């Protein structure tokens, strides 16, 4: 998993072309201008990402169910599978 440097979050959001200088809110129209707007921006982003993650997990669960049904039917037809431990 990628680690996020929370102390330099604005620096990461404000940089372009691999520049390491932090941009202020007035320099970057994508960043909120007040602290309250910034809080709202980050809360909204997290809310969206939580919903995206939930949908991804739901899709993954559906794929797993479909795969298991195919495996079960293939086993009924005589195809043998070698189970592998996840380590």
- Residue 23, CA distances (Å) to 5, 13, 43, 64, 83 in order: 16, 8, 21, 44, 52
Confidence of residue 8 (pLDDT cuts 50, 70, 90): confident
**pLDDT above 80 (res 3):** no
**pLDDT above 70 (res 79):** yes
Q: What is the mean pLDDT of the chain?
A: 81
Q: Which of 47, 15, 49 is nearest to 5 (CA)?
A: 15
CB 23 within 8 A of CB 14: yes
The reported pTM is 0.53
């Amino acid at each position: 998993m990628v680690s996020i440097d929370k102390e330099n979050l604005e620096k990461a959001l404000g940089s372009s072309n691999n520049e390491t200088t932090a941009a202020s809110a007035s320099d970057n129209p994508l960043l909120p201008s007040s602290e309250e707007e910034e809080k709202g921006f980050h809360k909204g982003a997290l809310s969206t990402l939580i919903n995206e993650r939930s949908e991804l997990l739901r899709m993954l669960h559906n794929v797993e169910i479909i795969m298991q049904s195919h495996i079960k039917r293939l086993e009924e037809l005589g195809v043998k599978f070698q189970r592998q431990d996840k380590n």
